[in-house]
Amino acid sequence: MSNASTIVILTGAGISAESGVATFRAADGLWEGHRIEDVAAPEGFARNPALVHQFYNLRRGGLKTVQPNAAHEALARLQRDFPGEVVLITQNVDDLHERGGSSSVIHMHGELHKVRCTACTVVREWETDLDETMACEGCHTVGTLRPDIVWFGEVPYEMDTIESALTRAKLFVAIGTSGHVYPAAGFVRIAQMSGAVTVEVNNAETEVSFAFNKRMTGPATEQVPKLVDWMLSGKS
C-alpha cells in the first residue's frame, strides 16, 4: 500500500457482535419475534408505527449498555495512522465506530441516533425514545418523525460517494457482514473490477466468500487488529 492508496472498509453486524449487539441473522438475531416486513419496511411503519418506534427505542436505549471493541478501535487507528485515504462504510446503525475513535464513518443504512421527518425531510440527532405523538421541531407536524434507518425497499445513503471510493480502492475489506443484503453485498465485485485486492474477515463462510482474494477467519476482535497492523506495516 503506497501513501496515495485508498482503502475501503465495509463493516456489518459481526463487528459489533463481541460488544454485545445482536447480529441480524443469528439464532438470537435482532429480528427475533418480529417479521422484517413489520419492523424494517415503510409499509410496516405505516401499519403499526407504535410497534416500530418501540422496536427502535429498545435498540437506541441498548446502545448505552455496550462499548466499542478492539476491532472498532483498530479501524480508528488505521484511519488515524494510514498516510493514504481510508473510507469506512458501515451497514450498522449503532455508534460504536464513532465511540471507538473513528471520525469519518458512512452509515449507509442510517443511524439509531437520528430521526427524520417524513413531511419536511429534516434529519435531527435523537438520543431518547420516539413515539407517534411527537411533533417535528421544524414543520410542527405530529406523527411524521421516524427512525432515520434505511428500510427494505429504500435506497441506502451516500451511494455516489461509496461507488466512487470503490472505483479508486487498492484494497477492499469486508468485516462481519453476511453478504445477504444488496447493494452492500455487491461492493466486492465493484472493487475487484476496479483492480482492488479484496479481503473478507468473518468468523464463518458467507454467501459471497468465494468472491474475495483472501479470507481471514475468526472473531473480528482478533482478526481486525492483525489486519490493521499489516496495513500499517507497509508490507505487501
Q: Which stretch binds ligand OAD (CB under 6 A): 53-61, 112-120, 121-129, 202-210?
A: 202-210
Tell me the three cell numbers of residue 8.
Answer: 475501503
Applying CB under 6 A, among 23, 79, 144, 198 the residue interacting with ligand OAD is 23
Pairing of strands 123-125, 110-117: antiparallel
Give the HSE-up count for residue 80: Cα atoms under 13 Å, Cβ half-sphere: 12
Catalytic one of 53, 109, 113, 140: 109
Active site residue 109: yes
6 binds ligand OAD (CB under 6 A): no
Which residue lies nearer to ligand OAD by CB, 125 or 155?
155
Instruction: List alpha helices for the chain, DSSP H.
Output: 14-17, 36-39, 42-47, 49-62, 70-81, 96-99, 159-168, 187-193, 220-233
The answer to whether the beta carbons of residues 213 and 195 sit under 8 Å apart is no
**36-65 positions binding ligand OAD, by CB under 6 A:** 40
Under rule CB under 6 A, residue 16 binds ligand OAD: no
Contact characters 146-185, ligand OAD, x per CB under 6 A: ----x-------------------------xxx-xx----
